[in-house]
Structure 1
C-alpha cells in the first residue's frame, strides 16, 4: 500500500515539474514590448533580433533580452560652451539638442554613452560654426547657424542609429567688456543715423524750395508768354484793320486811345477839375466820326 502511494506521489511531482517547465518556457519565449520601447535580443552573446512593440516570440533559454531601449524623443541637458568668432570675440553659447533612437542595435553596440557623445559632437560643431562668422552674423543669422548645427550633428550621429529632431541655440552671451564696447558702438551708430537723417531733411527742404521757385518762375514765364501772345494778336488785328481799311482804321485806333486816356484821368480820386488841351475834344469828335463812318 505504501509503495502504491509513493508511486502516485512521484507521478504528481513529475507533472508539477513538467507544468512548471512549460510555464517558464512560455514566459521566456513570449515577450510583450511596450509601444515606446524596443528590445535587443542576443543569442549566446551575439545580436539575434530587435523586437518591436506588441507580442513577440523568441527561442526560450537560447535567446535573451539584453537591452530595453526607449524610442521616445529625448532632450540633452542645456550645454554651455565658449567659442571665438572670426573677428576674435569670445562668446558663450547655450545649446539644446533633441534626438530619438531609431536603430537601437547600433546605439547599444557602437557607443557607450550616447548623451555625452552627442553633447561633445554639438560643442565641436558649434565652435567650428561660430569660428567662421563675425559677431554680427552670429546675432543676425542664428537660424542659419541652427540649421547648420542640426545637419552636421545628424551626419555625425548617423552611425549610432540616432535621429536629431531639433537643435536650438538658446542664448549667445558676451563678457562685460565686449558688451560695453558694443553699447558704445551702438550709441555712435544711432548718433550717426540721426545726423544723416537731419542732413537728408535739410537737403530735402532745399530741393523743395528750389522746386517751388522753379515752379513760380515757370508760371511767371507762362503768364508773360500769354500776355505777349495777346499783344501780338492785338497788333495783328490792328495791322489787319489798317491793311483792309487804310488810314481811317489807324486814326480810329489813335482817337480811341486818346479817349481811354482822358477817361482814366477823369476817373482818378479827388480829380474834380480836369484841364484838357484844346485839341483833346477834337479826339472825341474824330472818334465819333469814325464810328459813324464805320456804321
Structure 2
C-alpha cells in the first residue's frame, strides 16, 4: 500500500498544479475554453480546468514606451529627423480588445506617428520646428489617442525628444550662430569703449572745472588779501603806489623762497635782480597810465567827430530853407 499511496499523492499534486496558477502584479491573463475566450484573470491565485481551459496569453498593464524616428522635410526644404517617444498602457477594462483586436501595437503606433509628423512638419520652417515641438507632440498624442482607444490602449504622453537636421544644415546654423555672437560681442565691446571714453572725458571736464574754480577762488582770496594789505598800509601813511610796490616785492621774494625750498628744482625766475619787483611795478603802472590816456584821447576824438557831423547836418538843414516869393 505504501508505494501505491505515494503514486496517488504524486498524481494529486500534479492535478492540483494543473488546476492552480498565479497571475503577477500589473499583468492580465486571458483564459480560453475549447479555443474560445472565457475570461480575463487578474493578479493573484487563480483556478482553471485542466485540458478544458487554456492560458491563451498575458498582457502587461505597465506603462510602456516606444521610440519612433521619422525623417521628413520642412517648409524651407531642409531634411530633418525627429525622434518621438510614445508612452502607452493597456486599459484594464479593455484587455479583451487589446489582445484580440490588435496583433502588433508597435506597428500601429509607428504608422500613426509617421502620418502625423509628416503632415505637421512640412508646414513649418526649420526654426519653427524647434520652437513648436510641443505642438507637434500634442498633435501626435491627439491622433494616437483617438485611434488607439478603440483597440484598448491609452496614450499617456508623447514627446519630441530629438530634432536632428541634415549635417550640412547644422554646420551652417552653427556658423550663423557664431557670427551673431561675434557681432553681439563686438557691439558690447564698442559700447563699453564708448562709455569709457565718455566717462573719462566727463571726469577730465569736471577736474578742469574744479581746478579752474579753485584757481578763481585762490585769486579772489589773494585779491582780498591785497586789498586789506593796501588798506592797512594806507592807514599807516603809505601811499597806494608805495604799498603796491611793497606788496609786489614781498610776493617776489616769497616766490623765490618757495622755489629754493624744493630740492632739485630746475625753475629759473626772470628777472631776478633786487630791483626786479619795483621795475615790474613801474612798467605796469606806466602801461596802465598810457592805456588810460590813449583811451581818453580816443573818446575825445570820437566826441569831436560827432560834433562836427552834427554841425554839418544843421548847416545843411538851414541852406535848404527858402522864403516864399510873390508873383
TM-score between the two structures when normalised by the length of structure 1: 0.62
Q: Return the match for 1:247 from 221, 234, 241.
A: 234
What is aligned with 2:107?
116
Q: State whether residues 74 and 124 of structure 2, in contact with CA within 8 Å, keep that contact through their aligned partners in structure 1.
A: yes
- Name which of structure 1's ranges 39-48 and 112-121 shifts more when overlaid on structure 2: 39-48
- Name which of structure 1's ranges 259-268 and 155-164 shifts more when overlaid on structure 2: 259-268
Call closer, same or farther: CA 1:185–1:122 in 2, change over 3 Å.
closer
Q: State whether residues 234 and 243 of structure 2, in contact with CA within 8 Å, keep that contact through their aligned partners in structure 1.
A: no
1:219, distance to aligned residue in structure 2 (A): 0.7
1:270, distance to aligned residue in structure 2 (A): 10
**How do residues 156-171 of structure 1 correspond to structure 2 at under 5 angstroms?**
156-164=147-155, 167=158, 169=160, 171=162
What is aligned with 1:4?
none
What is aligned with 2:200?
212
Q: Distance in 2 between matches of 1:217 and 1:261?
A: 33
What is aligned with 1:70?
60
Q: State whether residues 96 and 169 of structure 1, in contact with CA within 8 Å, keep that contact through their aligned partners in structure 2.
A: yes
Q: Distance in 2 between matches of 1:37 and 1:270?
A: 111
Q: Distance in 2 between matches of 1:226 and 1:70?
A: 92
**SS of the residue 2:198 aligns to:** helix
What is aligned with 1:180?
168
1:54, distance to aligned residue in structure 2 (A): 1.5
Q: State whether residues 60 and 90 of structure 2, in contact with CA within 8 Å, keep that contact through their aligned partners in structure 1.
A: yes
Q: Deviations over 1:160-192 (max 9, x none)?
A: 3334466565654445xxx43553454355345
1:59, distance to aligned residue in structure 2 (A): 7.8
Q: Return the match for 1:50 from 29, 35, 40.
A: 40
Q: Distance in 1 between matches of 2:173 and 2:55?
A: 63
- Flag structure 1 segments of 5+ consecutive residues without an equivalent: 1-15, 281-295
How many residue pairs end up in the alignment?
Answer: 254
Q: State whether residues 85 and 131 of structure 1, in contact with CA within 8 Å, keep that contact through their aligned partners in structure 2.
A: yes
Q: Distance in 2 between matches of 1:86 and 1:118?
A: 25
1:154, distance to aligned residue in structure 2 (A): 4.5
Pairing 1:276–2:272 present? no
Q: State whether residues 24 and 43 of structure 2, in contact with CA within 8 Å, keep that contact through their aligned partners in structure 1.
A: yes
**SS of the residue 2:28 aligns to:** strand
1:199, distance to aligned residue in structure 2 (A): 4.8
1:51, distance to aligned residue in structure 2 (A): 0.9
Q: Deviations over 1:99-156 (max 9, x none)?
A: 4424322312443332221111222233344345432343466577557645654554
- Flag structure 2 segments of 5+ consecutive residues without an equivalent: 1-7, 261-266, 280-327
What is aligned with 1:92?
81
1:216, distance to aligned residue in structure 2 (A): 0.8
**SS of the residue 2:212 aligns to:** helix
1:36, distance to aligned residue in structure 2 (A): 5.5
Q: Return the match for 1:82 from 60, 67, 71.
A: 71
Q: Distance in 2 between matches of 1:167 and 1:100?
A: 12
Call closer, same or farther: CA 1:34–1:218 in 2, change over 3 Å.
closer
Call closer, same or farther: CA 1:190–1:70 in 2, change over 3 Å.
closer
CA-based RMSD of the aligned residues comes to: 4.6
Q: State whether residues 125 and 153 of structure 1, in contact with CA within 8 Å, keep that contact through their aligned partners in structure 2.
A: no
1:89, distance to aligned residue in structure 2 (A): 2.3
1:198, distance to aligned residue in structure 2 (A): 3.1
Call closer, same or farther: CA 1:248–1:73 in 2, change over 3 Å.
same
